[in-house]
Amino acid sequence: MEFLANCGTQIGFLGAVLSVALACAGSGRGVGLVGEAAAGVLSEDPNKFSQCLILQIIPGTQGLYGLVIWFFAMMKMGFFAGAMPNLTIAQGLGFLAAGLCMGIGGMITAVAQGRCAAAGVALIAKRPEEMSKGLIMAIMVEFYAILCLLASFLMINSMGVV
Protein backbone atom coordinates (compact mmCIF):
# COMPACT_ATOMS: atom_id res chain seq x y z
CA MET A 1 0.00 0.00 0.00
CA GLU A 2 2.83 2.31 0.83
CA PHE A 3 4.27 1.76 -2.63
CA LEU A 4 0.94 2.54 -4.26
CA ALA A 5 0.76 5.81 -2.38
CA ASN A 6 4.27 6.83 -3.41
CA CYS A 7 4.48 5.69 -7.01
CA GLY A 8 3.72 9.13 -8.52
CA THR A 9 7.27 9.46 -9.85
CA GLN A 10 7.10 6.07 -11.52
CA ILE A 11 3.80 6.93 -13.16
CA GLY A 12 5.40 10.13 -14.44
CA PHE A 13 8.34 8.15 -15.83
CA LEU A 14 5.91 5.76 -17.46
CA GLY A 15 4.31 8.69 -19.25
CA ALA A 16 7.67 9.95 -20.47
CA VAL A 17 8.74 6.48 -21.57
CA LEU A 18 5.51 5.74 -23.39
CA SER A 19 5.85 9.00 -25.26
CA VAL A 20 9.23 8.10 -26.70
CA ALA A 21 8.69 4.35 -26.96
CA LEU A 22 5.36 4.41 -28.79
CA ALA A 23 6.39 7.24 -31.09
CA CYS A 24 9.70 5.54 -31.91
CA ALA A 25 7.98 2.22 -32.53
CA GLY A 26 5.68 3.93 -34.99
CA SER A 27 8.53 5.81 -36.64
CA GLY A 28 10.56 2.65 -36.93
CA ARG A 29 7.71 0.91 -38.65
CA GLY A 30 7.02 3.88 -40.90
CA VAL A 31 10.65 4.35 -41.93
CA GLY A 32 10.86 0.61 -42.52
CA LEU A 33 7.83 0.62 -44.78
CA VAL A 34 9.29 3.36 -46.94
CA GLY A 35 12.67 1.63 -46.95
CA GLU A 36 11.16 -1.56 -48.33
CA ALA A 37 9.43 0.31 -51.11
CA ALA A 38 12.55 2.37 -51.81
CA ALA A 39 14.77 -0.70 -52.10
CA GLY A 40 12.45 -2.04 -54.78
CA VAL A 41 12.69 1.18 -56.77
CA LEU A 42 16.46 1.38 -56.33
CA SER A 43 16.88 -2.09 -57.81
CA GLU A 44 15.58 -0.57 -61.05
CA ASP A 45 17.28 2.81 -60.84
CA PRO A 46 19.93 3.44 -58.16
CA ASN A 47 20.09 7.11 -59.18
CA LYS A 48 16.85 7.78 -57.30
CA PHE A 49 18.55 7.12 -53.97
CA SER A 50 18.54 10.70 -52.72
CA GLN A 51 14.90 11.25 -53.64
CA CYS A 52 13.89 8.03 -51.91
CA LEU A 53 15.96 8.91 -48.86
CA ILE A 54 14.14 12.19 -48.36
CA LEU A 55 10.83 10.37 -48.39
CA GLN A 56 12.17 7.73 -46.07
CA ILE A 57 13.20 10.10 -43.29
CA ILE A 58 9.81 11.83 -43.16
CA PRO A 59 8.09 9.28 -40.90
CA GLY A 60 11.16 9.45 -38.65
CA THR A 61 10.19 12.79 -37.14
CA GLN A 62 7.51 11.35 -34.83
CA GLY A 63 10.18 9.40 -32.97
CA LEU A 64 12.07 12.61 -32.50
CA TYR A 65 8.98 14.41 -31.26
CA GLY A 66 8.50 11.56 -28.77
CA LEU A 67 12.05 12.05 -27.58
CA VAL A 68 11.46 15.79 -27.27
CA ILE A 69 8.46 15.17 -25.01
CA TRP A 70 10.38 12.55 -23.02
CA PHE A 71 13.21 14.98 -22.53
CA PHE A 72 10.94 17.84 -21.63
CA ALA A 73 8.92 15.74 -19.18
CA MET A 74 12.06 14.40 -17.50
CA MET A 75 13.35 17.93 -17.20
CA LYS A 76 10.12 19.18 -15.69
CA MET A 77 10.13 16.29 -13.24
CA GLY A 78 13.55 17.40 -12.16
CA PHE A 79 15.31 14.24 -13.29
CA PHE A 80 18.30 16.09 -14.73
CA ALA A 81 18.75 18.13 -11.56
CA GLY A 82 20.53 15.16 -10.03
CA ALA A 83 18.18 13.92 -7.31
CA MET A 84 15.41 11.41 -7.82
CA PRO A 85 12.19 13.40 -8.24
CA ASN A 86 9.32 12.91 -5.85
CA LEU A 87 5.91 13.33 -7.47
CA THR A 88 2.44 12.85 -6.10
CA ILE A 89 0.22 10.40 -7.89
CA ALA A 90 -1.82 13.26 -9.33
CA GLN A 91 1.29 14.87 -10.80
CA GLY A 92 2.47 11.54 -12.14
CA LEU A 93 -0.85 10.94 -13.84
CA GLY A 94 -0.56 14.37 -15.44
CA PHE A 95 2.76 13.39 -17.03
CA LEU A 96 1.31 10.04 -18.05
CA ALA A 97 -1.56 11.73 -19.84
CA ALA A 98 0.75 14.15 -21.60
CA GLY A 99 3.12 11.37 -22.62
CA LEU A 100 0.32 9.18 -23.95
CA CYS A 101 -0.90 12.00 -26.17
CA MET A 102 2.43 12.19 -28.02
CA GLY A 103 3.01 8.45 -27.84
CA ILE A 104 -0.25 7.26 -29.33
CA GLY A 105 -0.61 10.12 -31.77
CA GLY A 106 3.00 9.79 -32.88
CA MET A 107 2.83 6.04 -33.32
CA ILE A 108 -0.26 5.97 -35.47
CA THR A 109 0.61 9.00 -37.59
CA ALA A 110 4.10 7.63 -38.21
CA VAL A 111 2.75 4.40 -39.64
CA ALA A 112 0.18 6.27 -41.72
CA GLN A 113 2.85 8.64 -42.95
CA GLY A 114 5.10 5.71 -43.73
CA ARG A 115 2.41 4.18 -45.94
CA CYS A 116 1.86 7.50 -47.65
CA ALA A 117 5.58 8.04 -48.23
CA ALA A 118 5.95 4.48 -49.54
CA ALA A 119 3.28 5.30 -52.10
CA GLY A 120 5.30 8.43 -52.84
CA VAL A 121 8.27 6.19 -53.60
CA ALA A 122 6.15 4.35 -56.13
CA LEU A 123 5.33 7.74 -57.63
CA ILE A 124 9.03 8.54 -57.91
CA ALA A 125 9.60 5.25 -59.69
CA LYS A 126 7.23 6.24 -62.47
CA ARG A 127 7.48 10.03 -62.55
CA PRO A 128 10.52 11.32 -60.66
CA GLU A 129 9.71 14.90 -61.65
CA GLU A 130 6.55 14.76 -59.53
CA MET A 131 8.44 14.03 -56.33
CA SER A 132 7.36 17.27 -54.68
CA LYS A 133 3.74 16.18 -54.84
CA GLY A 134 4.49 12.87 -53.18
CA LEU A 135 6.40 14.79 -50.53
CA ILE A 136 3.47 17.09 -49.90
CA MET A 137 1.03 14.22 -49.50
CA ALA A 138 3.27 12.70 -46.86
CA ILE A 139 3.85 16.01 -45.10
CA MET A 140 0.10 16.52 -44.70
CA VAL A 141 0.17 13.68 -42.16
CA GLU A 142 2.95 15.37 -40.24
CA PHE A 143 0.59 18.11 -39.13
CA TYR A 144 -1.31 15.75 -36.84
CA ALA A 145 1.86 14.58 -35.18
CA ILE A 146 2.74 18.23 -34.65
CA LEU A 147 -0.64 18.81 -33.00
CA CYS A 148 0.06 15.92 -30.60
CA LEU A 149 3.49 17.32 -29.89
CA LEU A 150 1.96 20.68 -29.17
CA ALA A 151 -0.75 19.32 -26.87
CA SER A 152 1.76 17.26 -24.92
CA PHE A 153 4.16 20.13 -24.73
CA LEU A 154 1.63 22.66 -23.51
CA MET A 155 0.37 20.26 -20.86
CA ILE A 156 3.83 19.55 -19.51
CA ASN A 157 4.79 23.19 -19.79
CA SER A 158 1.89 24.23 -17.58
CA MET A 159 2.70 21.69 -14.87
CA GLY A 160 5.45 23.77 -13.36
CA VAL A 161 8.84 22.50 -12.21
CA VAL A 162 8.44 19.85 -9.56
Partner 1 sequence: MAIVKMKRLRLIALDQDRAALLSRLQHLGCVEIGEAEGKLVDPEWAALLRRDSSSSSEVKTQLAGVQHALEALRKYAPTKKSLFQKRSLMSEQAFLDADALASSLQIANTIGETLAELTRLNTRENRLLNTKAGLLPWTSLHYPLNQLSTEHVRVTLGVCPAVVSLEALTQALSEAAPLSALTPLSQDRDQHYLLLMYHLSESEAVDEVLKSFAFSNTQFKDLTGTAADEIQRIDRELADIATQREAAEAHIASFAENRSALQHSFDRLTQDLSRETACEHLLTNGTIVFLEGWAAATGLDRLEQELTGFSCAYALEDPTLEETPPTLLKNPKWMSCINMVTEMYSLPKYHGGIDPNPLIFGFYIIFFGFMFADIGYGIILMAISLLITNKYHPKNTMGYMFHLGIYLGFSAMIFGFVTGSFFGDAIPVFSSTFLGKDIALPYLLNPLSNPMTVLVFAICMGIVQLIFGQCVYIYMKFRDGDPWEGILKVVPWWILFAGIAIMALKGTAAGIWVGVVALILTQGRHKKGILGKLMGGVASLYDVTAWLSDVLSYSRLMALMLSGSVIASVMNILGALPGNIIVFMVVFVLGHVFNIGVNIIGTYVHAARLQYLEFFGKFYEEGGIPFRPLSYRTKFIDITEEET
CB closer to partner 1 out of 3 and 143: 143
CB closer to partner 1 out of 86 and 157: 157
Q: Does 39 bind partner 1 (CB under 8 A)?
A: no
Q: Does 49 bind partner 1 (CB under 8 A)?
A: no
Instruction: Determine which residue in the list 42, 75, 89, 119 makes contact with partner 1, applying CB under 8 A.
Output: 75
Instruction: Determine which residue in the list 6, 39, 80, 86 makes contact with partner 1, applying CB under 8 A.
Output: 80
Q: How many CA atoms lie within 13 A of 15 on its CB side?
A: 30
- As measured in angstroms, the least distance from the Cβ of 7 to partner 1 is 27
- Sketch the per residue contact string, 127 through 146, with partner 1: x for CB under 8 A, - otherwise: -----xx-xx--xx-xx--x
Those residues whose C-beta lies under 8 Å from the C-beta of residue 110, and which sit 6 or more positions away, are 23, 26, 27, 29, 30, 59, 60, 62, 63, 145
Q: Tell me the residue type at 32.
A: G
- DSSP category for residue 158: T
DSSP letters, 6-66, are HTHHHHHHHHHHHHHHHHHHHHHHHHHHHHHHHHHHHHH-GGGHHHHHHHHHGGGHHHHHH
List of residues contacting partner 1 (CB under 8 A): 61, 64-65, 68, 71-72, 75, 80, 132-133, 135-136, 139-140, 142-143, 146-147, 149-150, 153-154, 157
